Homo-oligomer: A and B are copies of this chain.
Amino acid sequence: MIRIAIDVMGGDFGPDVAIPGAAKALERHTDVTFLLYGQKAICEPILAQFPTLRDKSQFFDCEVSVTMDEKPSQALRRGRYVSSMWRAIEAVKVGEADVVVSAGNTGALMAMAKFCLRTMARIERPAIAGIWPTTRGESIVLDVGATIGADSQQLLDFAIMGGAMARALFDIDRPTVGLLNVGVEEVKGQDEVREAGRLIREADLGTIDYRGFVEGNDIGKGTVDVVVTEGFTGNIALKTAEGTARQINTLLREAISRSFIAKIGYILAKSAFDVLREKMDPRKVNGGVFLGLNGIVIKSHGSTDALGFASAIDVGYDMAHNGLTAKIENDLKAYHARRLPPPAPEALVVDEEL
């Protein structure tokens, strides 16, 4: 049984999306129970419309809700211990839930998750991993906005964590991993990325198949299963891709609306457009995964609908079901065990005698 904690108040639409979303996810997974955190007076009438969900969940009344425009520090001050967001995260910490899902404010969610769950041993900064639709299927891109300006060691951590997530999500043994870089040779300033490439190669990790540098256009091609970059570039790449998809959609619509024949053509070709839309549907790949914390946190897009929220729950289900946290811990441990052998006890004794 997978136990999923939901911050029902998070996101642009709060319980209007989170509750129907959870109900949808429940249709797909019968081995799930929910812990719902929200304002009872608002949530109860909505929950009453989904009796199956109500029967499979416990509701916890929380007076405070973190708003979408609150600064992380402000959200922490106001919402620590008492908000629906905090209490949903805490359920994972105390072992009552296996994963938490929230469509709330990203900065506040990350701040609370770090404060409550803490980062894993030897992980300085967590990352947010996004699932990216590609020509081949799906890839993982991290970090998409948690750590601006990661150094080479952090990029290596991302490669290990992203590899573990790919094994949990795609059911492959040794996912391919690439470091996002620019193609121009001999350009100054990409030292971190080059150094990270050297570190990953030298680490010779058994859990990933490192393929070297990839460029921006490789993401959509699906050249590798996991694309590693620091958060500033990753966030901008993600939003640029979303913007380009929307732009093409807008331009095509405008062009079709200008011609009667084209409109008829569009209707006939609709099945093909539906396939495309389904493959590129941001709701289908909704769910950023926070990596590097002692617990699984899934961030749903704030403006998504019930279908999108259900996808975020699906991601959380997969991650919990496939033991993401243990996979990451083991992979990190294996790397560090080989890298930093403990000093031999004899040497210590000699030192003490001096």
Question: What is the size category of the interface that chain A forms with chain B?
Answer: 35 or more
Cross-chain contact of A270 among B106, B149, B265, B271 (Cβ < 8 A): B265
| A145 interface residue (CB < 8 Å to B) | yes
Cα-based distance from A275 to B235 in the complex (angstroms):
30
Contacts of A236 in B (CB 8 A): 180, 182, 215-216, 229, 233, 236-237
Contact A272:B244 (CB < 8 A) given known A71-B185, A145-B182: no
| A31 interface residue (CB < 8 Å to B) | no
Cross-chain contact of A272 among B190, B262, B275 (Cβ < 8 A): B262
Cross-chain contact B273 with A255 (CB below 8 angstroms): yes
Instruction: Find the B residue at minimum CB distance from A144.
Output: B182
Contact A238:B255 (CB < 8 A) given known A135-B250, A186-B73, A233-B232: no
Contacts of A245 in B (CB 8 A): 244, 248
Contact A259:B271 (CB < 8 A) given known A107-B184, A148-B187, A232-B189: yes
Cross-chain contact of A148 among B182, B270, B276 (Cβ < 8 A): B182
Q: How far is the CB of A162 from chain B (nearest CB, A)?
A: 17
Per the 8 Å Cβ criterion, residues 230-270 of A in contact with B are 231-233, 235-248, 250-252, 255-256, 258-259, 261-270
**How many copies make up the complex?**
2
Instruction: Find the B residue at minimum CB distance from A259.
Output: B271
One of A113-121, A218-226, A335-343 at the interface = A218-226
Instruction: Find the B residue at minimum CB distance from A256.
Output: B272
| A28 interface residue (CB < 8 Å to B) | no
Contacts of A218 in B (CB 8 A): 243
Instruction: Find the B residue at minimum CB distance from A141.
Output: B240
Q: How far is the CB of A236 from chain B (nearest CB, A)?
A: 4
Contact A231:B187 (CB < 8 A) given known A240-B240, A273-B255: yes
| A72 interface residue (CB < 8 Å to B) | yes
Cross-chain contact of A268 among B134, B180, B265 (Cβ < 8 A): B265
| A32 interface residue (CB < 8 Å to B) | no
Contacts of A64 in B (CB 8 A): none
24 A/B residue pairs, CB under 8 Å, sorted by A: A71-B185, A72-B185, A106-B184, A147-B189, A148-B182, A149-B188, A182-B236, A183-B239, A216-B237, A217-B246, A221-B243, A241-B243, A241-B244, A248-B276, A251-B280, A256-B269, A261-B269, A262-B270, A262-B271, A264-B265, A265-B265, A265-B268, A265-B272, A268-B268
